[in-house]
Amino acid sequence: MEQKTTTTAAATADEELKRVFDQFDTNKDGKISVSELGEVMKSMGSNYTPEELQRAMEDIDTDKDGFVDLAEFTQLCRSSSTASAAAELRDAFDLYDQNKDGLISAAELHQVLNRLGMRCSVEECAKMIKNVDSDGDGSVNFEEFEKMMANGVNNGASAAAAH
Protein backbone atom coordinates (compact mmCIF):
# COMPACT_ATOMS: atom_id res chain seq x y z
CA MET A 1 0.00 0.00 0.00
CA GLU A 2 2.77 2.45 0.99
CA GLN A 3 4.66 1.73 -2.23
CA LYS A 4 1.56 2.46 -4.31
CA THR A 5 0.98 5.79 -2.53
CA THR A 6 4.59 6.80 -3.12
CA THR A 7 4.39 5.78 -6.77
CA THR A 8 1.13 7.68 -7.23
CA ALA A 9 2.61 10.80 -5.61
CA ALA A 10 5.67 10.58 -7.87
CA ALA A 11 3.47 10.15 -10.96
CA THR A 12 1.40 13.18 -9.95
CA ALA A 13 4.58 15.24 -9.43
CA ASP A 14 5.85 14.15 -12.85
CA GLU A 15 2.54 15.13 -14.47
CA GLU A 16 2.70 18.55 -12.80
CA LEU A 17 6.27 19.06 -14.04
CA LYS A 18 5.17 18.09 -17.55
CA ARG A 19 2.33 20.66 -17.41
CA VAL A 20 4.74 23.40 -16.33
CA PHE A 21 7.23 22.33 -19.01
CA ASP A 22 4.47 22.52 -21.63
CA GLN A 23 3.70 26.09 -20.56
CA PHE A 24 7.34 27.04 -21.20
CA ASP A 25 7.39 25.11 -24.50
CA THR A 26 5.13 27.53 -26.37
CA ASN A 27 5.74 26.09 -29.87
CA LYS A 28 5.14 22.53 -28.58
CA ASP A 29 8.30 21.04 -30.11
CA GLY A 30 9.22 19.18 -26.91
CA LYS A 31 12.05 21.49 -25.91
CA ILE A 32 12.49 24.97 -24.45
CA SER A 33 14.57 27.47 -26.40
CA VAL A 34 16.30 30.59 -25.04
CA SER A 35 13.53 32.77 -26.50
CA GLU A 36 10.78 30.62 -24.93
CA LEU A 37 12.58 30.82 -21.59
CA GLY A 38 12.83 34.60 -21.97
CA GLU A 39 9.12 34.97 -22.79
CA VAL A 40 8.03 32.99 -19.75
CA MET A 41 10.41 34.86 -17.46
CA LYS A 42 9.10 38.17 -18.83
CA SER A 43 5.49 37.08 -18.25
CA MET A 44 6.43 36.34 -14.63
CA GLY A 45 7.78 39.87 -14.20
CA SER A 46 11.50 39.13 -14.58
CA ASN A 47 13.54 41.08 -17.10
CA TYR A 48 16.68 39.11 -17.82
CA THR A 49 19.19 40.36 -20.35
CA PRO A 50 19.91 38.07 -23.32
CA GLU A 51 23.31 37.34 -21.75
CA GLU A 52 21.72 36.31 -18.43
CA LEU A 53 19.24 34.08 -20.23
CA GLN A 54 22.05 32.46 -22.22
CA ARG A 55 24.03 31.78 -19.02
CA ALA A 56 20.95 30.27 -17.35
CA MET A 57 20.33 28.15 -20.42
CA GLU A 58 23.93 26.88 -20.42
CA ASP A 59 23.58 25.85 -16.76
CA ILE A 60 20.32 23.97 -17.36
CA ASP A 61 21.15 22.47 -20.78
CA THR A 62 23.31 19.54 -19.65
CA ASP A 63 23.49 17.81 -23.06
CA LYS A 64 24.53 21.13 -24.67
CA ASP A 65 22.10 20.92 -27.61
CA GLY A 66 20.96 24.52 -27.10
CA PHE A 67 17.58 23.53 -25.66
CA VAL A 68 16.11 22.34 -22.38
CA ASP A 69 14.25 19.05 -22.72
CA LEU A 70 11.82 17.58 -20.21
CA ALA A 71 14.52 15.49 -18.48
CA GLU A 72 16.75 18.55 -17.97
CA PHE A 73 13.78 20.60 -16.78
CA THR A 74 12.78 17.86 -14.32
CA GLN A 75 16.35 17.62 -13.01
CA LEU A 76 16.45 21.39 -12.49
CA CYS A 77 13.16 21.40 -10.56
CA ARG A 78 14.12 18.44 -8.39
CA SER A 79 17.59 19.78 -7.56
CA SER A 80 16.22 23.20 -6.58
CA SER A 81 13.64 21.44 -4.41
CA THR A 82 16.42 19.46 -2.71
CA ALA A 83 18.47 22.63 -2.21
CA SER A 84 15.46 24.31 -0.64
CA ALA A 85 14.93 21.40 1.77
CA ALA A 86 18.62 21.50 2.75
CA ALA A 87 18.37 25.24 3.44
CA GLU A 88 15.27 24.69 5.60
CA LEU A 89 17.11 22.00 7.56
CA ARG A 90 20.05 24.37 8.11
CA ASP A 91 17.64 27.09 9.30
CA ALA A 92 16.05 24.65 11.75
CA PHE A 93 19.49 23.63 13.06
CA ASP A 94 20.44 27.30 13.50
CA LEU A 95 17.24 27.88 15.49
CA TYR A 96 18.26 25.20 18.00
CA ASP A 97 21.95 26.23 18.03
CA GLN A 98 21.35 29.24 20.30
CA ASN A 99 25.01 30.18 20.88
CA LYS A 100 25.99 29.56 17.23
CA ASP A 101 28.86 27.21 18.04
CA GLY A 102 27.76 24.62 15.46
CA LEU A 103 26.45 22.23 18.11
CA ILE A 104 23.12 21.72 19.85
CA SER A 105 23.54 21.04 23.57
CA ALA A 106 20.96 19.48 25.87
CA ALA A 107 20.37 22.93 27.41
CA GLU A 108 19.75 24.50 23.98
CA LEU A 109 17.40 21.68 22.98
CA HIS A 110 15.57 22.06 26.31
CA GLN A 111 15.20 25.82 25.85
CA VAL A 112 13.78 25.56 22.32
CA LEU A 113 11.45 22.63 23.07
CA ASN A 114 10.05 24.44 26.12
CA ARG A 115 9.49 27.57 24.03
CA LEU A 116 7.57 25.38 21.59
CA GLY A 117 5.38 24.17 24.45
CA MET A 118 6.95 20.72 24.83
CA ARG A 119 7.59 20.07 28.51
CA CYS A 120 10.69 18.02 29.14
CA SER A 121 13.67 18.16 31.48
CA VAL A 122 17.28 18.88 30.51
CA GLU A 123 18.00 15.23 31.43
CA GLU A 124 15.37 14.02 28.94
CA CYS A 125 16.91 16.28 26.29
CA ALA A 126 20.33 14.81 27.09
CA LYS A 127 18.89 11.32 26.49
CA MET A 128 17.41 12.44 23.15
CA ILE A 129 20.80 13.81 22.15
CA LYS A 130 22.56 10.63 23.27
CA ASN A 131 20.41 8.62 20.84
CA VAL A 132 21.77 10.54 17.82
CA ASP A 133 25.18 11.62 19.15
CA SER A 134 27.39 9.38 16.98
CA ASP A 135 30.68 11.04 18.00
CA GLY A 136 29.87 10.93 21.74
CA ASP A 137 30.58 14.60 22.47
CA GLY A 138 27.25 15.15 24.24
CA SER A 139 26.00 17.55 21.57
CA VAL A 140 24.38 17.27 18.15
CA ASN A 141 26.33 18.61 15.17
CA PHE A 142 24.67 19.37 11.83
CA GLU A 143 25.39 15.92 10.36
CA GLU A 144 23.82 14.22 13.39
CA PHE A 145 20.88 16.64 13.20
CA GLU A 146 20.32 15.70 9.54
CA LYS A 147 20.24 12.00 10.48
CA MET A 148 17.88 12.69 13.37
CA MET A 149 15.47 14.59 11.11
CA ALA A 150 15.67 11.92 8.41
CA ASN A 151 14.78 9.23 10.96
CA GLY A 152 11.93 11.25 12.43
CA VAL A 153 12.13 13.54 15.42
CA ASN A 154 9.82 11.40 17.57
CA ASN A 155 12.14 8.39 17.40
CA GLY A 156 14.58 10.21 19.68
CA ALA A 157 11.85 11.26 22.09
CA SER A 158 10.38 7.75 22.21
CA ALA A 159 13.77 6.22 22.85
CA ALA A 160 14.46 8.79 25.59
CA ALA A 161 11.11 8.06 27.24
CA ALA A 162 11.87 4.32 27.21
CA HIS A 163 15.03 4.80 29.32
Q: Which domains does the chain have, with CATH numbers?
A: 2-83 (1.10.238.10), 97-162 (1.10.238.10)
pLDDT bracket for residue 158 (50, 70, 90): very low
Q: What is the 3-state secondary structure (H, E, C) of the chain?
A: CHHHHHHHHHHHHHHHHHHHHHHHCCCCCCEECHHHHHHHHHHCCCCCCHHHHHHHHHHHCCCCCCCEEHHHHHHHHHHHHHHHHHHHHHHHHHHHCCCCCCCECHHHHHHHHHHCCCCCCHHHHHHHHHHHCCCCCCCECHHHHHHHHHHCHHHHHHHHHHC
Query: Which tens digits make up the pLDDT trace of 125-154?
Result: 999 899 899 999 999 999 998 887 877 654
Query: Which tens digits make up the pLDDT trace of 15-60?
Result: 888 988 998 899 999 999 999 988 877 876 777 888 988 988 998 9
> What's the pTM value of the predicted model, to 2 decimals?
0.51
